[in-house]
């Protein structure tokens, strides 16, 4: 391990508002695991973000613990990476308030996720949904993160985070590290199996559209068999014209490590039936150990609580330092 990269910091998070999908694994968790040995990592369960949409309280509590179990099942080592629940580190909400006074109304109005979510939930367009990217900036800047591994849909929020860091640094003096996004070329946008021009989402009401990390092998194989493709009967990577096939090729690549050219060769002259079966089996084999681990880890709630309690303590120590600096700079009295 290189000493210079060892000191560098990663922060990322996932909302605990539903069963995670293979999209979360491909876009975020997989990279979290790959990067964890070379960076000081903080991985967070973003429960403050979750309440921007209405949650059932008991379910939110349950999902929070389940999400922690999934992080570990996916390969995050709680001995070396800090795992914590966002609401247990009050500095996130505190810094978000300060940053919100440096954020323009117009800037937030341009956030595409805000527009999408407001369209999906016209009955609950709350102020939190609007200011949510500021909270995300606070999450990242509190830890002086160098790198933020996320899926493609978070790119715009990362751009805002960078702008806020630069703006604050410019107005006062160097306070925040300006973070870089880490977005994989392949897998940063896994599409719905039923509507391959839209992103796979845990809240999709069509159960066949998403592969959940808790799905059995049989369910995974069946969902992929039913995946929407096209009528060309040609296995070729072409996102614009063959989004369904390209999405399945991406999943096959992630599960087997084979390149797109190798996959095209492998299925030359074969039909979608053979292709989908091979994708289904390889994806099921990829998910199976994670799922089995997950159910095992979930049995020991006490261990999970201990990990999260310790994680919150570690996170608070770092977060407090940054917040103290910020409070001093903006002119709050410190006794
Ligand atoms: P969330 O909870 O919606 O998703 C968590 C992570 O998974 C990625 N992701 C996907 N990647 C590829 N294909 C998909 N279909 C797919 N669906 C989800 C997301 O891009 C994300 O990286 N606001 C964030 C959570 C958050 C956060 C942070 C992230 C809060 N604070 C600070 C990074 C840093 C969110 O709602 O992600």
Spell out the SS3 assignment of 210-225.
Answer: CCECCCCHHHHHHHHH
Provide the angle, in degrees to the nearest 10, between the axes of the packed helices 127-142 and 112-120: 140
Q: Which residues are catalytic?
A: 117, 199, 202
**Sequence-separated (6 or more) residues with CB below 8 Å from residue 226:** 193, 194, 208
Which pLDDT value is given to residue 17? Answer: 84
How many CB atoms within 10 Å of residue 331?
7
First to last CA, the chain: 42
- For atom 36 of ligand 1, the residue with the nearest CA is 15
Tokens of 279: 């994708």
CA of 133 to the centre of ligand 1 (A): 12
**Predicted local distance difference test score (pLDDT) of residue 170:** 98
Sign of CA dihedral 26, 29, 35, 39: positive
Q: What confidence score (pLDDT) does residue 120 get?
A: 87
Query: What is the Cα 40 distance to its own chain's centre?
Result: 18
Distance between CA atoms of residues 37 and 201, nearest Å: 29
Contact, 60 vs 102, CB < 8 A? Answer: no
Residue whose tokens read 């929070």:
64
CA distance 310 to 320: 15
Q: Is the CB of 28 under 6 A from ligand 1?
A: yes
- Domain locations in the chain? 3-183+301-330, 207-296
Whole-number Å distance, alpha carbon 296 to ligand 1 midpoint, is: 25
Q: For ligand 1, say whether the CB of 10 is within 6 Å of any of its atoms.
A: no
In the chain, DSSP assigns E strands to: 9-14, 40-45, 82-85, 147-149, 180-182
The Cα–Cα gap between 139 and 58 comes to 24
Nearest CA to ligand 1 atom 27: 13
Give the number of the atom of ligand 1 that is nearest the alpha carbon of residue 132: 23
Atom index in ligand 1 nearest the CA of residue 188 equals 12
Taking phi over 0 as left and psi of -120 to 50 as alpha, with beta for the rest, 11 belongs to: beta
Atom number in ligand 1 closest to CA 152: 20
Helix (H/G/I), strand (E/B), else coil: 27: helix
Mutate to test the pocket of ligand 1, among 10, 17, 20, 24 (most ligand atoms within 8 A of CB): 24
Residue 236 CB burial class (10 angstroms; 0-12, 13-18, ≥19): middle
Q: What is the pLDDT along the chain (335 residues), one digit of tens a residue?
A: 444 545 899 999 999 988 899 999 999 999 999 999 999 999 999 999 999 999 999 999 999 999 999 999 999 999 999 999 999 999 999 999 999 999 999 999 999 999 988 898 899 999 999 999 999 999 999 999 999 999 999 999 999 999 999 999 999 999 999 999 999 999 999 999 999 999 999 888 999 999 999 999 999 999 999 999 999 989 999 999 999 999 999 999 999 999 999 999 999 999 999 999 999 999 999 999 999 999 999 999 999 999 999 999 999 999 999 999 999 999 999 88
What's the whole-model pTM score? 0.96
Question: Residue 320: what pLDDT?
Answer: 98
What's the gap in Å between 18 CA and the centre of ligand 1? 12
pLDDT of residue 3: 46
What superfamily would CATH give domain 207-296?
Tyrosyl-Transfer RNA Synthetase (1.10.240.10)
Q: Please identify, by atom number, the ligand 1 atom nearest to the C-alpha of residue 136.
A: 31
Ligand 1 midpoint to CA 250 (Å): 18
Q: Is 251 exposed, middle or buried (0-12, 13-18, 19+ CB in 10 A)?
A: buried
How far apart CA 308 and CA 302 sit, in angstroms, is 10
Question: Could you tell me which CATH class the domain 3-183+301-330 is placed in?
Answer: alpha beta
Ligand 1 site, residue 304, Cβ cutoff 6 A: no
**CA Rg value for the chain:** 21
Q: Which residue has the tokens 């303590």?
A: 313
Give CA–CA dist 279/270, Å, rounded: 13
State whether the beta carbon of 190 lies less than 6 angstroms from ligand 1. yes
Q: Is the CB of 50 under 6 A from ligand 1?
A: no
Q: Quick check: CB of 27 below 6 Å from ligand 1?
A: yes
CA 149–ligand 1 middle distance (angstroms): 9
């Amino acid at each position: 391990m290189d000493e210079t990269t060892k000191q560098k910091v990663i922060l990322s998070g996932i909302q605990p508002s539903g069963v995670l999908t293979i999209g979360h694994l491909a876009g975020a968790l997989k990279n979290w695991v790959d990067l964890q040995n070379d960076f000081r990592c903080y991985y967070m369960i973003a429960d403050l973000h979750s309440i921007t949409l209405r949650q059932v309280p008991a379910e939110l509590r349950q999902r929070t613990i389940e999400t922690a179990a999934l992080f570990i099942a996916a390969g995050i080592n709680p001995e070396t990476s800090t795992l914590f629940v966002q609401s247990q580190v009050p500095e996130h909400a505190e810094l978000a308030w300060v940053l919100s006074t440096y954020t323009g109304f117009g800037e937030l109005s341009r956030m595409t996720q805000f527009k999408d979510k407001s369209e999906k939930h016209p009955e609950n367009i709350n102020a939190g949904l609007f200011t949510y990217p500021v909270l995300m900036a606070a999450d990242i800047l509190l830890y002086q993160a160098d790198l933020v591994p996320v899926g493609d849909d978070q790119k715009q929020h990362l751009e805002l985070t960078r702008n806020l860091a630069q703006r604050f640094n410019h107005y006062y003096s160097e306070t925040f590290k300006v973070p870089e996004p880490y977005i994989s070329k392949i897998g940063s946008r896994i599409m719905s199996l039923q509507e391959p021009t839209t992103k796979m989402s845990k809240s999709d009401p069509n159960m066949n559209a998403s592969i959940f990390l808790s799905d059995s092998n049989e369910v995974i194989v069946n969902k992929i068999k039913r995946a929407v493709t096209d009528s060309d009967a040609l296995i070729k990577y072409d996102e614009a014209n063959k989004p369904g096939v390209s999405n399945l090729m991406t999943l096959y690549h992630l599960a087997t490590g084979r390149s797109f050219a190798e996959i095209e060769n492998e299925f030359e002259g074969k039909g979608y039936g053979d292709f989908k079966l091979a994708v289904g089996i390889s994806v099921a084999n990829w998910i199976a150990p994670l799922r089995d681990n997950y159910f095992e880890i979930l049995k020991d709630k006490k261990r999970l609580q201990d990990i999260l309690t310790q994680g919150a303590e570690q996170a608070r120590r770092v977060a407090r330092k940054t917040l103290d600096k910020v409070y001093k700079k903006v002119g709050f009295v410190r006794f």
